[in-house]
Structure 1
């Protein structure tokens, strides 16, 4: 993708590819040109991904606490219910969501995408955080209770530092799922709330597929996820391996 993005459209469309073709930054210049207008789409994606990820953490951590550290009755049934919400393909819910957006006036609204992305990632986050919080030593919670710590203090001062690798892993996965989501954004947005994946589809036109520009745009749009993964790589490895060795 990097090599193709540095080729001209003529060289990029050659089959088999010309590895030694002349390199150029034309694809990136076209992407950042005034005609393309990529910045609103990037800002919309960043807004929807970050806000929905924060909402998922706010909702999933207390839910995981109730399902692991202070388990409710029949908590396995609750986890199965969360998982069952992922059984339905997204395409099966497009028509009801589209009609709901029209009747509520939220069509082409970034707020609707934030709500949908939050509900989409919440079951996965609850499952992940439940497994992470289940590894918190009970002795630490008992010591905090003896010191008079309430629920909020226990969550913020005792559980949060221990579960930070799990929070980082969950956050990154939810961010990636929200950033890369296309079907909902393509159906429920237009010119105002269009996201970065929707913007990529603009390179597929009736005139053909602009491969070099598409690769350049794909690389630029992938950079935020790569940067987030690089910044959280130490916590991510700890989080994904947490609880693997007893």
Structure 2
């Protein structure tokens, strides 16, 4: 089988983007998208997530090599914006129906497998400027390539999400510094009982995430526990947090491993 060159991939991407132009719509008003979780929005210097720019998301725990929670968080954010989405992976193993569970219809997503050219494809899409946002899954990225993505995202007024997906589990300290507005680490936490009739059956309620903001321009590192994105892409405070069953959802200092 003939191997497709990087130039051919970019050429095919331009053609696919042209076909999606009719789907392009107006993005969310302004440059900030609030999470709708008061402690989280208050902590961020923009009152929510600043859309023009690069944001890094990484799983922590057993799902780390798959970037499952990180992918769902990115999809939930993009579900609340209008227009098509470009999703770039190094290998063709994205489970698209899961995106629909957090409000991002698979029909809105253009999927690209770029092997070693994820950053180049993302940058091309950002410069085109016809997407609601761009997502790229990488095992590692050169700092200069991340810097180019940050500049391209700011110039386009679009969000770009870099999903850190290592081959093996690695500690939080394994995230090399890159030029991103925010850097998040997401860990799954045990959820509680789903119904009063089964008060001792845990794990049936909405999934819980521990969100660690490990870097943010203009804010300190912090941590929150929230319910995972729902079918509309929104995060929520868990009802279990109100009675002290779990750690409080207000910002807690985040301490780096080691």
TM-score, normalised via structure 1 length: 0.27
Bigger fraction of residues in helix: 1
Q: Which has the larger radius of gyration?
A: 1
Bigger fraction of residues in strand: 2
